[in-house]
Amino acid sequence: MDYTYKIGLFIPCYVNAIYPEVGIATYKLLKHLGLHVDYPMDQTCCGQPMANAGFEDKGLAAIEKFGELFKDYDYIVGPSASCVAFVKENHPQILAAHGHVCQTEGKIYDICEFLHDVVKPDKLPGEFPYKVSVHNSCHGVRELHLSSASEENVTRYSKIIDLLALKEGIQLTEPKRADECCGFGGMFAVEEQAVSVAMGRDKLRSHMETGAQYITGADSSCLMHMQGIARREKLPVKFIHVAEILASGL
Partner 1 sequence: MNKNHVTSAERFLKDKEGAQWHNETLWITREKRDKMAMGIPEWEELRELASSIKMHAITHLDEYLLQFAEAAEKNGATVHWAKDATEHNEIVLDLLRKHNAVKVVKSKSMLTEECCLDDFLCDNGINVIESDLGERILQLLNQPPSHIVMPAIHLKRQIIGKLFEEKLHTEEGNSDPTYLTGCMRENLRQEFLSTEVAMTGANFGIAETGDVVVCTNEGNADMGTSQANVHIVSMGIEKVIPDRDSLAVFTRLLARSATGQPITSYTSQYRKPRKGGELHIILVDNGRSDILGNKEHMQTLKCIRCGACMNTCPVYRRSGGYSYSYFIPGPIGINLGMLKSPQEYYTNLSACTLCFSCNNVCPVKIDLGNQIYRWRQSLDSIGKANPAKKMLSNGMSILFNHPGFFRSALQMAPVVNKIPRPLKYNKFNKWGEGRELPEFAPETFTSWWNKNVKR
The footprint of partner 1 on residues 85-144 (CB under 8 A) is 138-139, 142-143
82 membership: H or E segment, kind and range: helix 81-89
What is the CA 170 to chain-centroid distance, rounded? 20
Interatomic CA distance for residues 105 and 118, integer angstroms? 16
Rounded least distance, CB 38 to partner 1, Å: 9
Interatomic CA distance for residues 205 and 176, integer angstroms? 10
The footprint of partner 1 on residues 175-234 (CB under 8 A) is 177, 179-181, 183-202, 224-225, 227-229, 231-232
- Crossing angle (nearest 10°) for helices 220-232 and 193-209: 90
- Under rule CB under 8 A, residue 81 binds partner 1: no
Between 5 and 39, CB nearer to partner 1 = 39
User: Are residues 105 and 91 in contact, defined by beta-carbon separation less than 8 angstroms?
Assistant: yes
- Under rule CB under 8 A, residue 7 binds partner 1: no
Q: Of 117, 152, 162, 168, which one interacts with partner 1 (CB under 8 A)?
A: 152
Rounded least distance, CB 218 to partner 1, Å: 15
Adjacent-strand bridge partners of 135: 217
The footprint of partner 1 on residues 39-68 (CB under 8 A) is 39, 41-45, 47, 49-56, 58-59, 61-62, 65
